[in-house]
Amino acid sequence: MDLCVNGQNREFPQPLNVEQLLEHLELKPERIVVELNREILTIDRHADIQLQDGDTLELIQFVGGG
Give contact residues for another protein (rule: CB under 8 A).
30-35, 38-43, 58, 60-66
Q: Which is nearer to another protein, 12 or 29 (CB)?
A: 29
User: How far apart are CB 30 and another protein at their closest, in Å?
Assistant: 4
User: How far apart are CB 38 and another protein at their closest, in Å?
Assistant: 5
Under DSSP, the state recorded for 14 is S
The kind and range of the H/E element at 3 are: strand 2-5
User: How far apart are CB 36 and another protein at their closest, in Å?
Assistant: 10
Q: Is 62 helix (H, G, I), strand (E, B) or coil?
A: coil
